[in-house]
């Protein structure tokens, strides 16, 4: 997800992505656009301070293969290909000097109420501070961009090495998601459920961290 909003269960071939149940649904009432607005673009952002390290949070969010296990309405997630690029960063105080960039193609599916959609995302992971997913091949979205940023919550005047900063047990998480929908039907549904889904995204990742790192 959406890393992003997320993903479906076992259609094997990417060619199957063309089959979507969205278009067999009856149209929503004409009154809905008047009640909720008709903008095709929706955005949501949230910042949280969590008691996990930058490295821990990055590891959970970048593990796209596991999204179907915990992300709300994500029914399928599979990494199709991976490319690793050695990057260079000068932001040593934020724990990501000499960052390694991994670019993945991932097949993702989302199921919500009567809706089902599958698509391919390009996920760019800049270890250990940023994960960004871009989807642009779906008949549901013109584009879907999900961005996670992780910044160690270091006390003022703290001097740590890059590695120590990455392991510091407190981190700011900045989560952003932006959709541009392809049809008025999808816009109407998004206006009803978008904020609910977006808020539950970051909660799901926090709960995943609690499970993986056993803080419950």
CA distance 116 to 134: 19
- Max avg pLDDT among 115-119, 170-174, 192-196: 170-174
Domain membership of residue 95 (yes or no) is yes
Domain membership of residue 59 (yes or no) is yes
Domain membership of residue 106 (yes or no) is yes
Higher confidence at residue 38 or residue 169?
169
Domain membership of residue 45 (yes or no) is yes
Which phi and psi angles does 190 have, rounded to 5°?
A: -60, -40
Using the predicted structure, report yes or no on whether residue 17 has a pLDDT greater than 60.
no
Of 78-82, 186-190, 205-209, the poorest mean pLDDT is in 186-190
Using the predicted structure, report yes or no on whether residue 175 has a pLDDT greater than 70.
yes
Predicted model pTM: 0.75
Token pair listed for 146: 């999900």
Using the predicted structure, report yes or no on whether residue 181 has a pLDDT greater than 90.
no
Query: How many domains does the chain contain in total?
Result: 1
pLDDT digits (tens, 9 = 90+) for 32-56: 334 334 567 889 999 999 999 999 9
Per-residue confidence (pLDDT) for residue 31, from 0 to 100: 39
Place of tokens 């391919």: 120
Q: What is the CATH number of the domain that holds 206?
A: 3.30.530.20
Domain membership of residue 138 (yes or no) is yes
Using the predicted structure, report yes or no on whether residue 13 has a pLDDT greater than 80.
no
Domain membership of residue 21 (yes or no) is no
Domain membership of residue 122 (yes or no) is yes
User: Cα separations (Å) of 173 from 3, 119, 152?
Assistant: 14, 26, 9
pLDDT digits (tens, 9 = 90+) for 68-124: 999 988 999 999 999 998 765 444 444 455 578 999 999 999 887 667 888 999 999
Domain membership of residue 166 (yes or no) is yes
Q: What is the domain range of residue 97?
A: 30-213
What mean pLDDT is predicted for residues 26-33? 40
Residue 197 CA from chain centroid, whole number: 11
């Amino acid at each position: 997800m959406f890393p992003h909003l997320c993903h479906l269960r076992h259609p094997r071939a990417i060619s199957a992505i063309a089959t979507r149940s969205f278009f067999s649904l009856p149209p929503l009432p004409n009154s809905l656009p008047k009640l909720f607005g008709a903008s095709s673009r929706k955005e949501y952002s949230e910042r949280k301070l969590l008691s996990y390290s930058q490295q821990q949070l990055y590891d959970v969010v970048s593990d796209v293969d596991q999204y179907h296990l915990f992300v709300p309405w994500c029914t399928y997630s599979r990494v199709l290909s991976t490319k690793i690029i050695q990057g260079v960063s000068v932001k040593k105080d934020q724990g990501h000097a000499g960052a390694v960039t991994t670019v993945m193609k991932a097949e993702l599916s989302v199921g919500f109420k009567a809706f089902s959609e599958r698509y391919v995302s390009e996920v760019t992971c800049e270890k250990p501070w940023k994960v960004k997913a871009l989807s642009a091949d779906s008949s549901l979205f013109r584009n879907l961009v999900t961005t996670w940023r992780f910044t160690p919550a270091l006390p003022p005047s703290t001097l740590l090495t890059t590695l120590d900063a990455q392991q510091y047990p407190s981190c700011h998480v900045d989560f952003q998601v932006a959709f541009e929908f392809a049809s008025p039907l999808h816009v109407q549904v998004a206006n009803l459920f978008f904020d609910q889904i977006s808020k539950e995204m970051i909660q799901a990742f926090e709960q995943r961290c609690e499970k993986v790192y056993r803080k419950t």
